Amino acid sequence: MPELPEVEHAARTLRAWLGGRTIRRARAADTRIFRGGSPSDFERLLPGRRLERVDRRGKYLLLTFDGDLGLLSHLGMTGKWVRRSPSPLTGRRPVPLHSHAHLVLDDKSALHYVDPRLFGQLLLVRGGAVAELPVIRALGPDALLDGVDTTTLHAALSRSARPVKVALLDQSVLAGVGNIYATEALFHAGLHPTRPSRSLTLEETSRLAEGIRAVLDRALAGMVEEEIAYLSLGRGAVNRFVIYDRIGSPCPRCGRTLESLVIGGRTSAFCPGCQR
């Protein structure tokens, strides 16, 4: 499921696919991904536009086009952007399953927004100030763009009695980290996911900050394919994580069986030996 590395990967591929290109056509189905906007605006306002920039804040993609038009894209639980080029034999472009909106570019390729569970969002913003939307301004420091500062993170955690796993999922504390990478970072740091946030020492927070940086860097380094396969969809995805989705397997560090807890409504894998 898409978190910061997957969304950063999407931002990089969209820059490559849309850079220097003009949108010829836009099509969209009337689904809930357009909540707050409308598919008709998507179809009417995007043709003829050229991309100026693609930014990312937390788990949000921020596309800015000429003519002061912006597009907010959130991938939700299963969303992704994919590219399809015309077949050299038929000239037709294959349409991926669960495509709910697409853009046809001047190089005849099409960019599809694919989302089986429809939890993502596409929102057009006139005036282009997509970065000024309240949902973006409410985000905390971006774990990649702003870095993970130990002192800042410790100050944020010290104000909360919530389990540290729950606090890490709060996007106003640290933007971009979700269930998968919080699970991985806590294992890296040797911290139990139910520890009260304010109980962490500065040294433990330093280990956690280093763990967050390490798991994000490792994830980004491993993304070489244009289309990411999500484990939650179970179609040929390779589990590249250390303990996420490996409940019941031996801990790679101490050999104890990995266990799980439900914390804040989310399943969290942990090692009872390494994360006491």
Q: Which residues are catalytic?
A: 2-3, 59, 266
Beta bridge partners of residue 102, listed in sequence order: 27, 112
Q: How far is it, in rounded angstroms, from Cα 140 to Cα 172?
A: 4
- Amino acid identity, residue 257? T
- Terminal-to-terminal C-alpha distance of the chain: 27
Distances (CA, A) of 270 to 106, 179, 236: 49, 12, 25
Phi–psi pair at 182, nearest 5 degrees:
-65, -45
Residues in contact with 85: Cβ distance below 8 Å, sequence separation at least 6, in sequence order: 93, 108, 109, 110
